[in-house]
Structure 1
Amino acid sequence: MMPLEEKVGQMMMVGFTGTSPPAHILDWLARGRVGGIYLFAHNIENPAQVKQLVEECRSAAKHPILFGIDQEGGIVARLRAGFSESPGAMALGASGDPQLAEDVAFMLGTELAALGINWIFAPVADIAHQPANPSVGARSVGSDPRLVSQMVAAQIRGYQRAGVAATVKHFPGLGNTIIDTHDDLATVSGPLDYFYEKDIPPFRDAMRADVACVMLTHVQYDALDAKLPATLSPRIVTDLLRGELGYTGAVCTDCMEMKAMTRGFGAGESAVLAVQAGVDMPLFSHTRRRQEAAYDAVLAAVRSGRIPPARIDESLARINEIKRRFRLASPPALEVVDCDAHRALAKRAARAGTVLVERGTALPLGADSGRVACIEFAARRISDAVGASSRGRFSTLLLDRLPRAQCHTIDPRLPQVAASPRRRQLTSGADTVVLLTRNAHLQPAQLRLAQRVIDRSARAILVCARNPYDAGALRGADTVICTNGDSEPSLAAAVDALCGDYVPTGQLTVDIT
C-alpha cells in the first residue's frame, strides 16, 4: 500500500530550470514525491535532448510519471526550432474544418509521444469575448460557442488518438477578462445565464469527447463565488464541474505561481485550498521553495484532518487513470518529429486559416511590383537600429521570395522609433509597403506608428499577425490579411498569399469592427 507521503507526492506537478533534471528533482522522483514534470521552453534544446531528459526522469521515478507541456500551436508553443510548428486555435477555427483541426492535433500529439511526453495542456476552450483580453486572443477558436465546441472536441480526439492526455482549459472561462492572470487576479461579473450560454458549452462538449483533464483558471466569477477564484472554489470545482456538469476525470490548476495566486495566498495555503476544492494536481512550475511549501502543507493538512484521506485517494485514482490510459507503451520513433509529412500538414492548415479581409489592387507581389518595403513590428524587444542581420521571421520569409524588398524590423516600445530615419526612408520611397503588426490594438504606440505608416504609404498591405483585431483598428490599407497567429507556417502562408501562390479562403471567427 502506498504511504501517505507518496500519495500526496503523486498529486504534485513541478517544473525546473535547465535542460537536464537537477538533483533535487531526481531525489523527489525516487522518493515518490512528484507525480508530474512540467516542461517549458527553457528545458528544451532539441528532440534528442528532450527525450533524454524525459528518460532520465522516468528512470529515476519510483512510480509512473506524467510529463506535461503547453504546446497549443500558434502563439503558445514550447517546442519550436527542430520541432513541427503549427497554426493555433483561431487559425484552425478560421479554416472551418474540424477534421483538419483533429489532424493537426494528432500531428502535435504524435511528436510529443515520440519524445515521451504524455500530457498536453491544450486545447483552449475559452470564448473570445474581449478584444482587450491580453492573454487569450488568437489562442481561442473564436467567439461562437458552437464553432469553439466543434474545434475543441476535434483537437481532443486528435491528441488522445496519438496517445497523449488532452487538457481543456481554462475552466470556467478566461475569455471575458481584461487582466492577465500572470499579473493579477481577474474578476468576471455578469449574469449566470450569459455564462451558461456562452462559456460552458465548449467545456461540456470537451467532456463528451472524453477529455482526460480540465485545467482551472485563476479567475473569480462573482456570480458563482464572490470570495474565491475558480482554482480554490468548492462551488466551482465540486458543485459546478463535478456535480452539475458531471465531470469524472482529472482536474489540474494553471500554474499556482502566477501573481493571481501569490498576491493573495501563500504556496502552501493555496495548495491546501485547491485540494479541498476538488483539485487533483496543483501545478507549481518554477520555484523549489514554493513546491516544497505546497507539498508540506497538503501533507500536514491530511495529517491534521483538515483534508480527509479519502479526498487524497480520490485524486490518486484519477491521476493513476491518466497514467494508465496514456502510458506510451509503444511510442513513435523520434524521426517523426518535424518530418516532411508534418511540415506539409502545417502548411496546409496555415493556409486554410489565413483570412483575406480586404482585397485591393496590390496583389500579387512580384518582380513587376516596383519598390517593395516591409515594416515588421517585433514580438520581442529589439533596437530600432537593428539591421538586416537581425530581421524578423516574416521579413526573412518575404526576402526569400522578393530579394529586392527593403525590410525593417522595429520595436514600437522604443521612443526613438517614431522618428526613425530608416523607417521614413523606406516608406516614403516605396511603391508598396507591407506592414506586419502584432497586436497593435493592445499597444497604443504600435497602433499609432502603424497608422502613420499606412497614411504615408503610396499603397499599403496590412498583415495582422497574432490577433485579427488589428484589421479593425487600422484604416486605409489597400489589402488586409489576417494570419490568426505568427508561427512560422502562418507567416509563410501570408507570404505565399502576397506572392499569389493561393487566395486565402479562411473566415474571421471574431468581430473586428
Structure 2
Amino acid sequence: MPADPSLDRLANATLLVPFESYEAPPWLLDGLADGIAGVCLFHNNIRGPEQVAALNAVLAGAAESPLVSLDEEGGDVTRIGQRAGSDYPGNAALGAVDDPVLTRAVHAALGAELRSLGITLNLAPTVDVNTAADNPTIGTRSFGSDAALVARHAAAAVAGLQDAGVAACAKHFPGHGATRQDSHTELPTVDADADLLHRRELLPFREAVGAGVRTILTAHIRLPAYGLDGPATLSPRVLTGLLREEMGFTGVVISDALDMTGVSGDIGMPEAAVRALAAGCDLLCLGRFTYADDVAAVRAAIVAAVREGRLDGARLEEAATRLGELRSWTSGRPVPPRADAIGLDVARRAVRVTGELPPLRDPVVTEIDAPPGIAVGDVPWGLAPWFPGTERVDPATARPSDVLARASGRDLVLVVRDAHRFPAAREFVTAVCTARPDTVVVEMGLPEWRPECRAHVSTYGAARVNGQSAAELLGGIGATSVR
C-alpha cells in the first residue's frame, strides 16, 4: 500500500520524542517539519543555559510552535539542575511548609526560568498522594500523604507554572502514590476500592483540572477496582470514561514514557503506542533513548493500525486538534521576566529539627550512599559542597568503626537519604549512633525513620537548596547561618 503523507503527519502529531545530543540532529528537525508534535529534553541535551536556549531556538524554528518539554519538578527530579542540584525545593519541602501561595510563587519562578530557556511544556507537577512510605518512585516528589494537602498544592503549582506561560502537566493519573513498585521496571498495583480512589488518588487531579491544567500524564499502574489487568495508560475506561467523561478534563492526555516496562515490557513500544492512542492518550512520550529508527517504528505501527481498522483515524484527528490548541496556547504566552530566586528561602522554611542541635565545631560529615531512583538519575546531593572532606560510604561494605575512629574527638554528622527504605543504611546509622549518641543525623529524603541520636534534621528533599539549608544549621563553610 502506498504511503499516505497525511496519515503519516497525523501519526507524527501524537509523538513527543527524545534525541541524542546537545544539538538537534537532522532526523529530528526533518521530523518536526513533518509534523512531530515536540521533543522531551533529558540530561544529555542540557549542558548549560546558553546552550539549551540556543538549542530550543533551533527547535522552535523547525516548525510552528513545537512543544519543548522536560521533567523539571524541582527538588530531586531536575534536568536544568542536573550538574549541581536544583535551585528549587521539591514538592515534599513545599508540602512541609504548607503555604499554597508560596508553592504558586515557587512554580511561577521555575516557570519563568523555563520559559526564558525556550521550554513550553513542563511535565510537572507530580500530584500523587504518597501513602506508601516505601514507594520507590514517588517519595519526595509528592507534596505529602494527605490528599487534601496534595490537592491544594497541586492547584497552586499548576497555576504558578501557567502564570509564567509554561503548560503544566499533572501526573501520574490516576495516582502512583500507593504503589510499592517502580513502573520503570514492572507493573505496580494500587490496591484500593473505587471509593478510596476517588477520595484519595483522584482528589488532586480534580483540583488540577479545576485550576485549568493544560495536560495530564498517565500512570502505568494496575487498578483492580476498575477491572484492570493491564496499565491504566492503555485503558479506555480510565482515560476516556473516568478522566474525560466523569472528571470533565478537556486538555491533552500524555502517556508516561512508553519505554517503561510497566507499559511495553510484554508488547513492545510500537504496540503500546497504538493501544495508548486507542485508550485516549493524545501525546505519546516515547522515553529516554527512543531515537530515529525507533520513532519511525512507532509511527509505522500507528499508521498500520489505522489502515487495519484497529485504530480509528478520527482518534488521531481528535488528538491532533487538542495538540494544535495546546501549541497555540504555548505560542501565545508572553515570556515573563525572571523572578527573584526564592528556592533557598523556602528550603530553609521546610527544615525540621528534633532533639538538641548544639553549635558544631569542625564536624566530621559522612554521607551514607543510597541509589537514586530511575526518575531522579545521577544528580548530586549531600553536604559536601559546604563541608570539605566529606566522605561518602557504602553502608553494605563500610565499617561503622572506621567512621567512629575518623570522628574521634570531633562532632559527627551522618547524612542519609530515605533511610527507611534501605536496611543496610539503618543498621549502619544505628551502630554509629549507639556508640556516639551525640551524633547528628540529616535525612534528605522522607523522615519516616529516626534513629536515637542527639539531633535529627529533616530537609524533605535532596536539592542543592535543601542541602544548603541544612549546612546553614550545621555551620558549613560558605553557608549563611540562619540560627
The TM-score with structure 2 as length reference comes to 0.91
Matched, 1:135 2:118: no
Matched, 1:77 2:78: yes
> How many residue pairs are counted as aligned between the two chains?
465
Tell me the amino acid that sits aligned with residue 359 of structure 1.
G
Alpha carbons of structure 1 residues 83 and 461: separation in structure 2 relative to 1, 3 Å: closer
Q: Report the aligned-residue RMSD.
A: 2.1
Tell me if structure 1 keeps the 8 A contact 2:363–2:411: yes
Matched, 1:483 2:464: no
2:383 aligned residue: 394
Superimposed CA distance per residue, residues 467-496 of structure 1 (whole angstroms, 9 cap, x where no aligned partner): 222xx2x42111111101111111111122
User: CA–CA distance in 1 between the matches of 2:382 and 2:224?
Assistant: 42
User: CA–CA distance in 1 between the matches of 2:436 and 2:343?
Assistant: 33
Tell me the amino acid that sits aligned with residue 182 of structure 1.
H
Residue of 342, 359, 365 corresponding to 2:355 = 359
Residue of 73, 87, 93 corresponding to 1:91 = 93
Tell me if structure 2 keeps the 8 A contact 1:149–1:203: yes
Residue of 300, 304, 318 corresponding to 1:296 = 300
1:19 aligned residue: 22
3-state SS, counterpart of residue 255 of structure 1: coil
Alpha carbons of structure 1 residues 458 and 234: separation in structure 2 relative to 1, 3 Å: closer
User: CA–CA distance in 2 between the matches of 1:420 and 1:17?
Assistant: 46
- Per mean C-alpha deviation after superposition, the further-off stretch among 23-32 and 119-128 is 23-32
Superimposed CA distance per residue, residues 333-390 of structure 1 (whole angstroms, 9 cap, x where no aligned partner): 7xx4xx8x31xx111111111122x132x3233xxx4x52211123569xxxxxxxxx
User: CA–CA distance in 1 between the matches of 2:385 and 2:268?
Assistant: 46
Matched, 1:443 2:419: no
**Percent identity of equivalent pairs:** 33
Alpha carbons of structure 1 residues 29 and 97: separation in structure 2 relative to 1, 3 Å: same
Tell me if structure 1 keeps the 8 A contact 2:125–2:158: yes
User: CA–CA distance in 1 between the matches of 2:359 and 2:201?
Assistant: 40
User: CA–CA distance in 2 between the matches of 1:153 and 1:332?
Assistant: 20
2:377 aligned residue: none
Residue of 386, 411, 421 corresponding to 1:432 = 411
Tell me if structure 1 keeps the 8 A contact 2:73–2:125: yes
Tell me the amino acid that sits aligned with residue 186 of structure 2.
D
User: CA–CA distance in 2 between the matches of 1:82 and 1:491?
Assistant: 11
1:29-428 → structure 2 map (5 Å cutoff): 29-32=32-35, 34-61=36-63, 63-80=64-81, 81=83, 85-285=87-287, 286-288=289-291, 289-327=293-331, 330-332=334-336, 336=338, 341-342=340-341, 345-356=342-353, 358-360=354-356, 362-365=357-360, 369=361, 372-379=363-370, 393-399=382-388, 407-413=390-396, 415=397, 417-418=398-399, 421=402, 423-427=403-407
Tell me if structure 2 keeps the 8 A contact 1:432–1:457: no
2:376 aligned residue: none
Displacement, 1:67? 0.8
Q: Is there any run of 5+ residues in structure 2 with no aligned partner, and where?
A: 373-379
Residue of 491, 497, 510 corresponding to 2:473 = 497
3-state SS, counterpart of residue 335 of structure 2: coil
Matched, 1:465 2:444: yes
The TM-score with structure 1 as length reference comes to 0.86
1:511 aligned residue: none
Tell me the amino acid that sits aligned with residue 16 of structure 2.
M
Displacement, 1:306? 2.1
User: CA–CA distance in 1 between the matches of 2:367 and 2:100?
Assistant: 32
Displacement, 1:60? 2.2
Tell me if structure 1 keeps the 8 A contact 2:473–2:481: yes
